[in-house]
Amino acid sequence: GQQVMQIPQYQHVQEGEDFTTYCNSSTTLSNIQWYKQRPGGHPVFLIQLVKSGEVKKQKRLTFQFGEAKKNSSLHITATQTTDVGTYFCAGPTAGNKLTFGGGTRVLVKP
């Protein structure tokens, strides 16, 4: 079936460093959404990308949607301890249900 995959599964980052997490779909997506879940919390919607090649920024976070609309990335610059959590990408798959990737769990070393 249609799948949404994320790499890496875990990301250990030194505070102040940059990192990127990647999301790949087995099929073309009409849009890609990103969510953040803090430890012990629930997923919180961050952003949606719709257009091929679209790039959006939220402060230190940069989101990109691939040209083929099958992949996306989230780049965080100057990582802070507040960035700790799991980042999920999600896209509408068969039947327009929102399918989530496995998530990238971010751990920050102070």
Partner 1 sequence: KAGVTQTPRYLIKTRGQQVTLSCSPISGHRSVSWYQQTPGQGLQFLFEYFSETQRNKGNFPGRFSGRQFSNSRSEMNVSTLELGDSALYLCASSPGQGSPGYTFGSGTRLTVV
Applying CB under 8 A, the residues found at the interface with partner 1 are: 31, 33, 35, 41-45, 48, 88, 90, 95-103
Residue environment code for 8-17, b if the CB has 16+ CB neighbours within 10 A, otherwise e: eeebebeeee
Question: Rounded distance, CA 106 to CA 101, Å?
Answer: 15
Smallest distance from the beta carbon of 102 to partner 1, in angstroms?
5
Q: Which is nearer to partner 1, 66 or 101 (CB)?
A: 101
Smallest distance from the beta carbon of 33 to partner 1, in angstroms?
6
- 3-state SS assignment for residue 94: helix
Smallest distance from the beta carbon of 34 to partner 1, in angstroms?
10
Q: Which is nearer to partner 1, 8 or 16 (CB)?
A: 8
